[in-house]
Structure 1
Amino acid sequence: MFHLSQGFISRRAALAGLLAIGLSVSAVAAQSPQASGLGQSWPNARDVSASPNWHVYVFERDGVRYVQVNDLNGTVRGAFATAQGQYLVLPVGTDAQLIGTPQRPLTMIKPAPSETVYRDASVQVLLTPQANGGVLLRVFDTATCTDPYNCGNVMHLLGH
């Protein structure tokens, strides 16, 4: 029969525990790559835009997702944060005042062609260029909105 000392078993258990922790930290790091630079023209994050005309960067931290939209020149147009169905417009970008969310809808726009610049399982972002050079960013919760034009995010005022 084999006889193992208790010290050998303790060291072996500790080493196995450290290895398991190291692997779980590596797995988490692989799932959420380190991205930085929220608010910057060229952040250290992957461009996930659904459009070749815009750059979209997503950052995540502590369960909050931050989405930033830049134009092709790197100008930050706007950004918002979202967690558990709540949205918050961030005070960054040249068009930060032109961002509509389910909690903070835009109150007046004229109908214009829009383009989806980002979509994932819970968020869709439509962008509408304006004649004055500004850009409207409309954010929709894809879990509750199947038709962004009829979700109540925007009130079209046509002289009524």
Structure 2
Amino acid sequence: MFRKPLGFASRGALTALFVALLSTAAFAQAPSTGLGQSWPNAADVSVSPHYHVYVFVREGIRYIQVNDLNGTVRGAVALADNVVLVLPVGADAQYVTTQSSAQSVASTTETVFSDANTRITATPTSTGAVQIHVASTPASVPTICTNPANCSGAVKGLPGG
């Protein structure tokens, strides 16, 4: 039985299709590098016009970084298995709190990131620092908000969500 080899145009079309599929898969995932950078090569998923928020994923751990409008890294956290770890990254790292930490809500508190499992707020202080608060809710399947249009101030399952 004879097999007809694929023509040049057919191989080129298959190669282009394969490259397109790989590119689409790469864009669907959060980047794994850039944490701590002022302007990382990552999508800004902030729901606030006053902050930039970037999500990174590496080895199943989500890293969320909050920058101000000037690109100054204010703080970052790591999330895995419903555990939030404050990272020693950013100008206001010492002001990052978690849901188990005490938090007072000020009128200037603003939600900067929210998805099905995590809500992050930022509150400017009188000293110029930014208080960042992270609240994480248990979930069976972690989700990543990579599209700002789908990230909202309301957490699904809670009143108003």
TM-score of the two chains, using structure 1 as the length reference: 0.68
- The C-alpha deviation readout for 1:102-131, integer Å capped at 9, x for no partner, is 4xx434x55412110000111100111111
Structure 2 Cα separation of the partners of residues 4 and 23 of structure 1: 31
- The number of residues matched between the two structures is 131
- Higher RCO, Cα 8 Å, sep 6+: 2
Give the distance between the partners of 2:104 and 2:118, measured in 1 at CA.
Answer: 23
Identity %: 48
- SS state at 1:106 partner: coil
Asked if 1:92 is matched to 2:89, the reply is yes
1:112 to 106, 112, 126: 106
Corresponding residue for 1:139? 134
Q: What residue in structure 2 maps to residue 50 of structure 1? A: 47
* Unaligned segments of structure 1, at least 5 residues: 6-18, 148-160
Report which of the two has the higher share of helix.
1
2:123 corresponds in structure 1 to 128
Which residue in the other structure is 2:67 paired with?
A: 70
Q: 1:87–1:4: structure 2 CA closer, same or farther, 3 Å change rule? A: farther
Task: Tell me: CA distance 1:27–1:45, structure 2 relative to 1, closer, same or farther (3 Å).
Answer: closer
Mapping of 1:20-39 within 5 angstroms? 28-34=25-31, 36-39=33-36
* Structure 2: runs of 5+ lacking an equivalent: 4-14, 140-154
Q: Distance in 2 between matches of 1:38 and 1:112?
A: 28
- Aligned-pair CA distance for 1:101: 1.5
What does residue range 8-27 of structure 1 map to in structure 2 within 5 Å?
none
Q: Which amino acid is the alignment partner of residue 85 of structure 2?
A: L
Describe the shift of the 1:4–1:25 C-alpha distance in structure 2 as closer, same or farther (beyond 3 A).
same
When normalised by structure 2's length, the TM-score is: 0.67
Q: Which amino acid aligns with 1:53?
A: H
Larger Rg: 1
TM-superposed CA distance for 1:26, in Å, is 5.5
Q: Deviations over 1:129-158 (max 9, x none)?
A: 1111111111011448948xxxxxxxxxxx
Contact 1:81–1:90 (CA under 8 A) maintained in structure 2: yes
Q: Deviations over 1:36-82 (max 9, x none)?
A: 32101111111111000011111111111100001111111000010
